[in-house]
A and B are shown apart, each in its own frame.
Chain A
Amino acid sequence: MQRKAQIKVDKLTYHYGTGPPVLKDISFEIEKGECIALIGQNGAGKTTLAKHFNGLHRPSSGKVYIDGTDTASMKVSELARKVGFVFQNPDHQIFHDTVAREVAFGLKNLRLSPREIEERTAAALEAVGLAEHRQTYPFNLSKGQRQRVALASVLAMRTEIIVLDEPTTGQDFRESVQIMEIVRKLNENGHTIIFITHDMSLVARYARRVLVLCRGEILADGDVRSVFAAPEILKKTYLRPPQITNLAQRLGRHSIPPGVLGVRELYELLVKMRREKIGCCN
C-alpha cells in the first residue's frame, strides 16, 4: 500500500526574477507527523524552499503539492488553513495592542465564530505559556516572549503543517529550549513540523529527519543520526555536527558509533563500556 505524502515537492526550480536559480530541481516528500530540520548556510535556499509550502513563492518550474493538491491552484490565504508559518522576526507581524488580539488576527481572517476565536486564542496562549499576558501590550514583552506570541498566533490557526524559520535566533538558551519544547509537543499532537535552524544541537535533540541544503540543492536527506554520522558531507557546506557527535566520532576505535546525538547518550555508552571492560578484567 502506498501512503500519500502530505507535502510533495516535484522537480522544483525557483529563481527571483531573471536571476540565477536559487533552488535547482529539488524533489522530496514529507509525510504527516514528521519533524524535519532544514539546515544549510545562509543563502542555501532554506527560506525560499519553505515559502513554497504556503504559496508565498511559486515554482518557476516543477510542482509543490499539499495533500495532493497543486499549490499553484491555491491562494496564500487558502493555504494558510493548511500550513502555518512562523517567521524569524516576530516584529514583522505583531501590530495589535494586546497579545490576545494579535493571536486572534489569523482566526478572524479565517472568519471563525467569536466563541471559537476566544476558545482557540486562550488555548494557544496556554500552549506557549503566555496565558497571563492576554492583555499585555506586545512590545512590553521580551523578544523571546514576542516570538512565542507569533508562534501562538500561528498555532491558533490549527494547521496540520507548521513551518518555523529560525525560531530560536536571537534568543537565549532558556527561551530557545522553551520554544523547541512547544514545537515538540505540537509534533506529538500530530502536527507536521518543519523548522529551519543553524543550531545543530537543537537539530539533534528535536528533529527526526534532516534536509541539508547547499546552493539550492539537497546535499543530504535522512534521519538525523545517519546525516550527522557523515561529517564529511556536512563539511561541504561548512556545517558541523554537534560538539558531542564530533567527540564521539573521534572515539571510533573504541567502537563508539558515529551517530551519537546527545550528551546523555554518549555518557551511557561510555559507562556501559567501562562496565564491560571491568567485567572482562575480573
Chain B
Amino acid sequence: MALLEIENFSFSYPRSEQPALREINLKVEKGEFIGITGPTGAGKSTLTYCLNGIIPHFLGGSYQGRISLGGTSIFDLSPAQISRLVGSVFQDPEAQLISPEVEQEVAFGPENLGLPPAEIGKRIGKALELAGIPGLRNRPTANLSGGEKQRVAIAAALAMLPEILVLDEPTSELDPLGTDEIFKVLDILNKEHGMTIIMVEQKTEQLAAYASRILVFNEGRIALEGEPRQVFVRRRELEEIGVRIPQVARLAGLLGRYEGCALPLTVEEGHLYLESILRG
C-alpha cells in the first residue's frame, strides 16, 4: 500500500468559481522525493495545505474525493494528529519561526504533543543534526541567515518524527548558497534516512537533480508526471505551461541525438553527453 494516496481529489476555496484542484490522482511510496512545479495559481500550495491539515482546519472550502495517509483519511484526523504525520515547511523564513531561540523553536512541536522533557531533548538533538545545524542549538533565530532559518524550520518539522515532509517553495527567498544548503539537507534526508519528501519548487535545475519524480501542475491539474527525464523531455508542453527547463536539457533538446542515452539534466550529465557527441 502506498504511504500517501490521493484519489479523484478536487477542492474549491470559498467564494471561488474555479476549483483550485481538479481530480488529482497520486500515489506516493515511502522514500520518494516528489518535486512539484508549475505556474502561480496552478494549485501547488493548495495541495500542500490539503496534506498538512491547513485545509480544512484553517482555511475552509469544499472538496470531493479522498486523501489517505497510511490508510487513514486525512480529513478524519485532528490538526494535532496530522502534525505527527506531516511535517511542514513554508516559504517565508521569518514568518514561520514561532520562537526567538532555536532550541525553543524545535521544542515547540514536541511540547505540544505533551512528550516528556527528556524525550523532547533527544528529539531536538537528532532533528538539528539531520538538518545539519547542531551548532545552532543555543542561538537566537533573529540573526541567522535565510538558509539557516529554513533549516531550523526543517528541524522543527523533523522533531515531530513525521512520515512525510511537505515543503512549499522553501528556497524562494534564499540566495544561491541558502538554496544549496536546503537541497543538500533534503537529499541526505531522502537518500540516507529514507524520508519521504514532497517539495513545491520553481528552481527546476535543482529539482531535476534531486527529485525522484516530478509533477507539473497547471490549472489545478497534474499536467505532466514522471521521472525528471521523462518530464523535462517534453519541451513544447513545458514551454506552453510556463515551466523553466534546465538549460542542459534544453541544449540536448536542440541537438537531439540523446536517443541512445537518457536526457542529460545536470552539468555532469551534459558534459558526458556532449563529449560523446563531439567524439562521434
Touching chains A and B, CB distance < 8 Å: yes
Residues of A within 8 A of B (CB): 41-43, 142-144, 169-175, 198, 200-201, 238-240, 242-244, 246-247, 250-251, 254, 263-264, 266-267, 270-271, 273-274
Task: Confirm or deny: B271 has a beta carbon within 8 angstroms of a beta carbon on chain A.
Answer: yes
- Number of B interface residues at 8 Å Cβ cutoff, please give it: 35
Q: A42-B146, A173-B202, A270-B255 are in contact. Are A198 and B248 (CB under 8 A)?
A: no
Q: A174-B242, A263-B254 are in contact. Are A239 and B248 (CB under 8 A)?
A: no
Write out the residue numbers on chain B whose beta carbons fall within 8 Å of the beta carbon of A42.
Answer: 145-146, 174-175, 178
What are 27 residue pairs bridging A and B, where the CB atoms are less than 8 Å apart in the complex? A41-B177, A42-B146, A42-B178, A43-B145, A143-B40, A144-B40, A170-B172, A170-B173, A173-B39, A173-B244, A174-B39, A174-B242, A175-B40, A198-B175, A201-B247, A238-B175, A243-B267, A243-B270, A247-B248, A247-B251, A247-B270, A250-B267, A251-B278, A270-B255, A270-B277, A271-B255, A274-B278
Task: Confirm or deny: B161 has a beta carbon within 8 angstroms of a beta carbon on chain A.
Answer: no
Task: Confirm or deny: B250 has a beta carbon within 8 angstroms of a beta carbon on chain A.
Answer: yes
On whether the beta carbons of A273 and B271 are closer than 8 Å, the reply is no
On whether the beta carbons of A198 and B176 are closer than 8 Å, the reply is yes
Write out the residue numbers on chain B whose beta carbons fall within 8 Å of the beta carbon of A263.
Answer: 247, 250-251, 254
Q: CA–CA, A251 to B251, complex, Å?
A: 14
Query: Which of B180, B202, B274 touches A247 (beta carbons < 8 Å)?
Result: B274
Q: CA–CA, A196 to B246, complex, Å?
A: 22
Query: Which of A198, A239, A254, A264 touches B278 (beta carbons < 8 Å)?
Result: A254
Write out the residue numbers on chain A whose beta carbons fall within 8 Å of the beta carbon of B179.
Answer: 198
Q: Min CB distance, A275 to chain B, in Å?
A: 13
Q: Min CB distance, A20 to chain B, in Å?
A: 13
Q: Min CB distance, B185 to chain A, in Å?
A: 16
On whether the beta carbons of A172 and B202 are closer than 8 Å, the reply is yes
Task: Confirm or deny: B41 has a beta carbon within 8 angstroms of a beta carbon on chain A.
Answer: yes
User: Chain B residue with minimal CB distance to A46?
Assistant: B175
Q: CA–CA, A238 to B178, complex, Å?
A: 10
User: Chain B residue with minimal CB distance to A277?
Assistant: B278
Q: Min CB distance, A221 to chain B, in Å?
A: 19
Point out which of A143, A169, A247 has the most chain B C-beta atoms below 10 A from its C-beta. Answer: A247
Q: CA–CA, A240 to B244, complex, Å?
A: 18
Given contacts A173-B202, A244-B248, A250-B267, 14 further A-B contacts (CB under 8 A): A41-B176, A42-B178, A43-B145, A142-B40, A170-B172, A173-B39, A198-B179, A238-B175, A238-B177, A244-B251, A247-B270, A251-B274, A254-B278, A263-B247
Write out the residue numbers on chain A whose beta carbons fall within 8 Å of the beta carbon of B176.
Answer: 41, 198, 200, 238-240
On whether the beta carbons of A243 and B248 are closer than 8 Å, the reply is yes
In B7-26, the 8 Å CB interface with A consists of: none
Write out the residue numbers on chain B whose beta carbons fall within 8 Å of the beta carbon of A251.
Answer: 271, 274, 278
Write out the residue numbers on chain A whose beta carbons fall within 8 Å of the beta carbon of B145.
Answer: 42-43
Write out the residue numbers on chain A whose beta carbons fall within 8 Å of the beta carbon of B278.
Answer: 251, 254, 270, 273-274
Query: Which of A41, A142, A169, A173 touches B172 (beta carbons < 8 Å)?
Result: A169
On whether the beta carbons of A171 and B40 are closer than 8 Å, the reply is yes
Q: Min CB distance, B65 to chain A, in Å?
A: 26
Q: CA–CA, A270 to B278, complex, Å?
A: 8
Main secondary structure of the interface of A (DSSP, over half): helix
Chain B window 193-227, contacts with chain A (Cβ cutoff 8 Å), 1 for yes, 0 for no: 00000000010010000000000000000000000
Write out the residue numbers on chain A whose beta carbons fall within 8 Å of the beta carbon of B169.
Answer: 170
On whether the beta carbons of B244 and A244 are closer than 8 Å, the reply is no
Q: Top 6 nearest A-B pairs by Cβ distance?
A: A174-B242, A244-B247, A238-B177, A173-B244, A243-B247, A42-B175
Write out the residue numbers on chain A whose beta carbons fall within 8 Å of the beta carbon of B91.
Answer: 170
Q: CA–CA, A240 to B177, complex, Å?
A: 10
On whether the beta carbons of A172 and B40 are closer than 8 Å, the reply is yes
Task: Confirm or deny: B160 has a beta carbon within 8 angstroms of a beta carbon on chain A.
Answer: no
Task: Confirm or deny: B243 has a beta carbon within 8 angstroms of a beta carbon on chain A.
Answer: yes
Q: Min CB distance, B102 to chain A, in Å?
A: 19
Write out the residue numbers on chain A whose beta carbons fall within 8 Å of the beta carbon of B254.
Answer: 263-264, 267
Write out the residue numbers on chain B whose beta carbons fall within 8 Å of the beta carbon of A274.
Answer: 278
Chain B window 152-196, contacts with chain A (Cβ cutoff 8 Å), 1 for yes, 0 for no: 000000000000000001001111111110000000000000000
User: Chain B residue with minimal CB distance to A237?
Assistant: B177
Q: Min CB distance, A176 to chain B, in Å?
A: 8
Q: A270-B255, A270-B274 are in contact. Are A243 and B205 (CB under 8 A)?
A: yes
Q: A175-B40, A251-B274, A254-B278 are in contact. Are A169 and B175 (CB under 8 A)?
A: no
In B133-151, the 8 Å CB interface with A consists of: 145-146
Q: A41-B175, A263-B247 are in contact. Are A246 and B40 (CB under 8 A)?
A: no
Q: CA–CA, A215 to B270, complex, Å?
A: 33
Write out the residue numbers on chain B whose beta carbons fall within 8 Å of the beta carbon of A170.
Answer: 91, 169, 172-173
Query: Which of A175, A246, A273 touches B267 (beta carbons < 8 Å)?
Result: A246
Chain B window 224-252, contacts with chain A (Cβ cutoff 8 Å), 1 for yes, 0 for no: 00000000000000000011101110110
Q: CA–CA, A193 to B98, complex, Å?
A: 39
Q: Min CB distance, B280 to chain A, in Å?
A: 10
Q: CA–CA, A106 to B147, complex, Å?
A: 36
Write out the residue numbers on chain B whose beta carbons fall within 8 Å of the beta carbon of A169.
Answer: 172-173
